[in-house]
Structure 1
Amino acid sequence: MKHLRYLDLSGNPIKRIPNWIVGLSNLETLHLTGCYGLMELPRDIKKMINLRHLILKDCWGLSGMPRGIGELKGVRTLNRFVLRESNCLWRGGSAGLGELGTLKELRGELEIRNLRHVVSESNVGTPLKDKQHLHELILIWKGGEDANAVDEDDIIKSMEVLQPHSNLKRLTVCYYRGVRFASWFSSLINIVDLRLADCKRCHHLPPLDHLPFLKKLDLHGLGKLECILLSENESSNSMSDEMMRISFFPSLEYLRINSCPVLKGWWRAHTHNTASSSSSSTENLSLPSFPSLSTLTIKDCPNLTSMPLYPNAERIELWRSSWKIVDSLFVRGASDITHDVGVDVSSSSSSHHPSKLIHLSLGGIEDLASLPEEICNLNSLQHLEISDCFNFSSLPEGIRGLPSLNTLRIWCCPVLSERCKKETGEDWFKIAHIPHIGIN
């Protein structure tokens, strides 16, 4: 077997790889996908000098990497790197971030787990910064740490040292406990997909609106996030509306904001400290709409009342959010909705209606009693769903003027359901023309 180049042990219920496997000196690929119970890799793995691909997808039980793994200079695929737990005893020791830095040929996807909020290695450097072929990075901090007991500068440093190469396309950050994110966030000029999850102490995000290729932004469980900062361009007052439109989230197609209970809105970078107490500092600013946004999901964000408009959206889901966000769909009362971020709404007109909107789902919006008559401007709307809106009392007359609407779903809206009863309900005549109606 000494000439073996490819070994696939995927899906095996093994806990440890026997150390004799390091004798396969010509092995180039070791495939361990789905070895859920795998806890350790061979402690002498550094002897596998020809190893190019170590595939550890879904190896959830892995508790660390053997010391010396950084000597495998030719490794190109290492999709999981686990830092050992502080109370874990390893035979032969375990590798730290410093060894990850010596793997110069890494490419594709890399997930780093069990990151700590204090960098214990004195010479860790920036182990990811020179990895130009790394396109996806997943950073997962160790859960359960008491970040309040750690100096904030140390927490920030734990992220600063992880600066990736600017070629990075996808970034996920989970369980980070810093109040702010690292300074390198705004320099990810090639980022396409950004996901931040359960970063519970973060107060605001760095400016991201200038990133030219960002298509997907997913924010989940940012419990203390108060605002999303926007770039402050010194020449913004002299920029034409068209130039501002082109430079504002130019490629963003998907935006999801979930479980951010104190998030209020979007601010220019220099105004976020005073926005809540003074409107004069923002009244002359102008904020363009999202030019490319097609999918918007907002869930469990009851205080989010101000954000840019989204005239090209095709799918919108709003759950347990403020009714003001619903109103912004129709630019009715938009001056109230956007005042906090200084949006110039003097030119608001029917052109701001999401005329391409196909799917609209509203749920759990307690203070929503109806929809505005301007709903008739949503000429492309095909699917309308309203659920768990207990105070929703009637449908607008304008719903009769929706030429494309073919599906209406009403769930757990007792007053509205009664009014929409077939033949007998007071609002039945408004919806009788819709081909597919479901009422519970």
Structure 2
Amino acid sequence: MVTELPSGIEKLVNLRRLKNETWSLFYIPKGIEKLTGLQTLSEFIISGGGDYESRACSLEGIKNLNNLEGGLQIRGLGNVTNMSDGKMKEVLKNKKYLTGLSLQFDKGMETPRRGSVTWKIAEEGESCEDYEVVLEAIQPPAELEGLSIEYYAGRTFPSTWKTSLTKLKSLCIMSCPNCKNLHPLGELSSLEELTLGWMKNVKKMDNEFWGIESGTSSSSSSSGFFPKLKQLRFYVLEEWEEWTYENTKKGEEEEHIRFMPCLATLEITSCDRLKALPDSLLQRTTLETLEICACPILNERYKEGTGEDWSKISHTPTIVNWL
């Protein structure tokens, strides 16, 4: 297993592809920033200090690698310190060929045994301000089509994303223990696939969680929330109990907000406490596949023939319901 790249990597001036599919590297060495012809870099690791600090390249080292294309994973974002917002804004700014990005906010810490690193993930209740500052400043490139975020300890996501990530089609948010809402994400105009998992602090999903304000007359309400979303997946939300959605009102007239108007696939796995699904989604003629797995309350509620709400989903073409 490869844990370190050789020193003098800056001498490989003709290098175009650097891939490591074992995810075993402890850090990326200094000198990588000089390989401006790189087109493929599978992962960039930010060191947690220790003996590796003097040899490791900082996050700023990605700045001039503007020929990168395809996907890039950045690990160790929890280690980012003492870097100005201005410098962070430049890191991904000109990556116009980058279409996929994975941001992992874990922390790499050298263990007492030399040559070993322990990766620590964010925990519930951990201070979130630093994480929010980093995520706000990084600014994913505008051409991005796929984005994954893991181990992020912040409560919210950057409000600027709804206008900057206009081509984003797929979003995956995993292991974000302090997440309170998804306010700006419902206005991502091109988003087609959303996956949420292992979010310990989510107990209720309602209008506030999605960022739908009562009485709003903003442009978001007229265009809808998640206007192009086709696939929605939830995994292992252990505390999630309630999922509601209500039309907002403007004055005395009811204002119908189109919420996930194109939803075709809904998958829910290992959400033990969830009691019911929103009727407004189940009655949608666009819903083609409903999959409920290892959700005991839902499995019973929507059980074929005998469940109290079976009639609400029976029209769905494909139904998977198993414990």
Pick the TM interval, shorter chain. Answer: 0.7 to 0.9
Q: How far apart, in 1, do the equivalents of 2:175 and 2:253 lie? A: 33
1:38 equivalenced with 2:2 (yes/no): yes
1:370 equivalenced with 2:307 (yes/no): yes
1:131 equivalenced with 2:99 (yes/no): no
Task: Give per-residue Cα distances to partners, 1:67-121, cap 9 Å, x unaligned.
Answer: 121111221211211112333x239611011111121222211000121165333
Instruction: Write out aligned runs for 1:282-301 (5 A).
Output: 284-301=254-271
2:229 matched residue in structure 1: 252
1:152 to 128, 143, 146: 128
2:288 matched residue in structure 1: 314
Q: What code does the residue aligned with 2:5 have?
A: L
Task: Give per-residue Cα distances to partners, 1:35-68, cap 9 Å, x unaligned.
Answer: xx11111211111222222222x13211111112
**TM-score normalised per structure 1:** 0.58
Contact 2:28 2:45 in 1 (8 A): yes
1:299 is displaced (CA, Å) by: 2.5
Q: What code does the residue aligned with 2:286 have?
A: N
1:165 is displaced (CA, Å) by: 1.4
Q: Which runs of 4+ in 1 moved over 6 A?
A: 279-283, 363-366
Q: How far apart, in 1, do the equivalents of 2:66 and 2:312 lie? A: 56
Q: How far apart, in 2, do the equivalents of 1:60 and 1:133 lie? A: 23
Q: How far apart, in 2, do the equivalents of 1:376 and 1:179 lie? A: 33
Q: What code does the residue aligned with 1:104 have?
A: N
Contact 1:208 1:231 in 2 (8 A): no
Instruction: Write out aligned runs for 1:20-419 (5 A).
Output: 37-56=1-20, 58-87=21-50, 89-90=51-52, 93-116=55-78, 118-122=80-84, 124-126=87-89, 127-142=91-106, 144-145=120-121, 151-187=127-163, 188-225=165-202, 226-227=204-205, 228-230=209-211, 234-235=216-217, 244=222, 247-263=224-240, 264-265=242-243, 284-301=254-271, 302-303=273-274, 305=276, 307=278, 308-309=280-281, 310-319=284-293, 321=295, 362=299, 370-372=307-309, 374=311, 378=315, 381=317, 386-388=321-323
Q: How far apart, in 2, do the equivalents of 1:190 and 1:373 lie? A: 37
Instruction: Call closer, same or farther: CA 1:230–1:311 in 2, change over 3 Å.
Output: farther
1:200 is displaced (CA, Å) by: 1.1
Instruction: Call closer, same or farther: CA 1:375–1:72 in 2, change over 3 Å.
Output: closer
Q: Which runs of 5+ in 2 are unaligned?
A: 107-118
Contact 1:319 1:364 in 2 (8 A): no
Task: Give per-residue Cα distances to partners, 1:327-363, cap 9 Å, x unaligned.
Answer: xxxxxxxxxxxxxxxxxxxxxxxxxxxxxxxxxxx47
How many residue pairs are counted as aligned between the two chains?
296
1:313 is displaced (CA, Å) by: 1.4
Q: Which runs of 5+ in 1 are unaligned?
A: 1-36, 272-278, 327-361, 389-440
Give me the CA root mean square deviation.
Answer: 3.7
1:260 is displaced (CA, Å) by: 2.2
Q: How far apart, in 1, do the equivalents of 2:144 and 2:313 lie? A: 43
2:113 matched residue in structure 1: none
Q: How far apart, in 2, do the equivalents of 1:205 and 1:282 lie? A: 28
Instruction: Call closer, same or farther: CA 1:150–1:377 in 2, change over 3 Å.
Output: closer
1:144 is displaced (CA, Å) by: 2.7
Q: What code does the residue aligned with 1:229 have?
A: W
Q: What code does the residue aligned with 1:370 have?
A: G
Instruction: Write out aligned runs for 1:7-18 (5 A).
Output: none
Task: Give per-residue Cα distances to partners, 1:255-290, cap 9 Å, x unaligned.
Answer: 00122234433668xx9xxxxxxx999994533353
Q: How far apart, in 1, do the equivalents of 2:2 and 2:64 lie? A: 25
1:295 is displaced (CA, Å) by: 1.1
